[in-house]
Amino acid sequence: MSTNSIVRVPLGNRSYPIYIGSGLLTTAGTIFRKHNISRSVVIITDQTVASRYLPLVRKSLLSKKFSVHTIILPSGEGQKSLGTAKRIYSELLERNMERSSTIVALGGGVIGDLAGFIAATYQRGIGFVQIPTTLLAQVDSSVGGKVGINHPLAKNMIGAFYQPKFVLADTSVLATLPKREMISGLGEVVKYGIILDKKFFSFVEKNLEKALSRDQSVLAKMIRRSCALKSSVVARDEKEDHLRAILNFGHTIGHALEQAGKFGILKHGEAILYGMVAEAYIACAMGMLSIQELERIEFMVNRLPIPFLTSLKLNSSALLATMRKDKKTKNGVLRMPLPNSIGKVSVATTVDEPSVLRAIEYLRVYGS
């Protein structure tokens, strides 16, 4: 595999490329020019990312005669809110940003979701570019056009489907990514193998430690395959009418765990890892997944050092209440994608609450 590669998201006249490789931030200006991005660019980022990577991106864009405005936010999930969106709208209006302007998301999933939501709604939609700086964002949230903000009662319940002009995933930024952020991203990488590609799951099994040690070649392959797998699903079901729901494997229980910790104890990918164990347990209990494959999934997760669940003080009733607000729940009935085997998944399986409660009890032991 070459140092740099391109994965295409095929959506007709809204198709776009995902550029993957090392050192791409320094060529941002050239890539923007190639895609005829408007001269007026607004970079939305957070304080942590800005201190490391904003100067590189800004210098590259200025060298190609772009007008660059920056909005730097505090770090954290709390920025995905209506309050923050309102402040950004005000700044865009005060700066007289026109419909020809382009919003650039420079950061992780929080920045990508928020900036995309702004791009989708400001003047009914302006240009949008994703520059994800975490592994999680590079393999998941920057691909497929899901953008949005949180509500105090539920995560990602306010949003849209809004595709970027392109995604620029620079693997060299992962060298400075904190270990927990790497693990969080690998949680989504593992998910793609479980639901879509048994061979890829085996590749991740064999190369997990190399990925954790920031092996550029291994990471590039994992990112490329993850993006290709997600793109193939998005191309067939852009707005999650049916098939795209399989990408939510591990998320029904995982999101509930995130919220139980007030988004501060478990990172997204860590919660999804636990969610996948619980939902694979449900699949096994329902006779869909073999005990051998459940154990294989658990062994993979065990190799990733994630926080114990004991600090969450799991409340079964509260977790169920959160799950009832999940987007996949219909008429009060819990539905979730469940694996039939590693590499194959059922789109939406009805799961009764006693099964979920048993899975939560299983997690209490597993995560302690």
Q: What are phi and psi of 263, to 5 degrees?
A: 60, 20
| 124 belongs to the catalytic site | yes
Could you say which of 80, 248, 293, 335 is catalytic? 248
Instruction: Point out the residues of the chain with pLDDT beneath 70.
Output: 1-3, 327-328
In DSSP terms, 333 is beta-bridged to: 330
* Cα–Cα distance, 127 to 118 (Å, whole number): 10
User: Residue 347 carries which side chain, given as an amino acid letter?
Assistant: V
Selection from 106, 87, 86, 117 nearest residue 42 by Cα = 106
3-state SS, residue 224: helix
Q: Which residues, including other chains, have CB under 8 Å from residue 90's CB and lie 6 or more apart?
A: none
- For tokens 């949680």, the residue is 187
Could you say which of 80, 155, 165, 244 is catalytic? 244
Selection from 43, 245, 268 nearest residue 137 by Cα = 268
Could you say which of 268, 270, 279, 335 is catalytic? 268
Q: What are phi and psi of 151, to 5 degrees?
A: -115, 150
| 230 belongs to the catalytic site | yes
Could you say which of 65, 96, 124, 331 is catalytic? 124
Could you say which of 230, 267, 296, 335 is catalytic? 230
| 358 belongs to the catalytic site | no
Could you say which of 58, 80, 146, 296 is catalytic? 146
* Cα–Cα distance, 240 to 161 (Å, whole number): 10
Domains and CATH numbers, the chain: 5-176 (3.40.50.1970), 179-366 (1.20.1090.10)
pLDDT in tens, 139-177: 999 999 999 999 887 777 899 999 999 999 999 999 999
Could you say which of 77, 181, 238, 240 is catalytic? 240
Work out the number of other CB atoms within 10 angstroms of the CB of residue 221: 19
Question: Can you give the pLDDT at residue 310?
Answer: 87
- Here the tokens at position 266 are 């478990």
- Here the tokens at position 366 are 């597993």
Question: Can you give the pLDDT at residue 1?
Answer: 34
Strands 67-73 and 102-107: unpaired
Could you say which of 58, 80, 221, 255 is catalytic? 255
Q: 258 vs 255, 269, 271, 346, CA distance in Å?
A: 5, 10, 6, 24
| 242 belongs to the catalytic site | no
Selection from 143, 167, 169 nearest residue 235 by Cα = 143
Question: Can you give the pLDDT at residue 262?
Answer: 84
Question: Can you give the pLDDT at residue 313?
Answer: 82
Sign of the alpha-carbon dihedral angle for 108, 190, 277, 279: positive
| 69 belongs to the catalytic site | no
Question: Can you give the pLDDT at residue 329?
Answer: 73
| 251 belongs to the catalytic site | yes
What pTM does this model have? Answer: 0.93
Convert 73-95 to b/e letters by CB count within 10 Å (16 or more is b). Answer: bebebebbbeebbeebeeebeee
Question: Can you give the pLDDT at residue 2?
Answer: 40
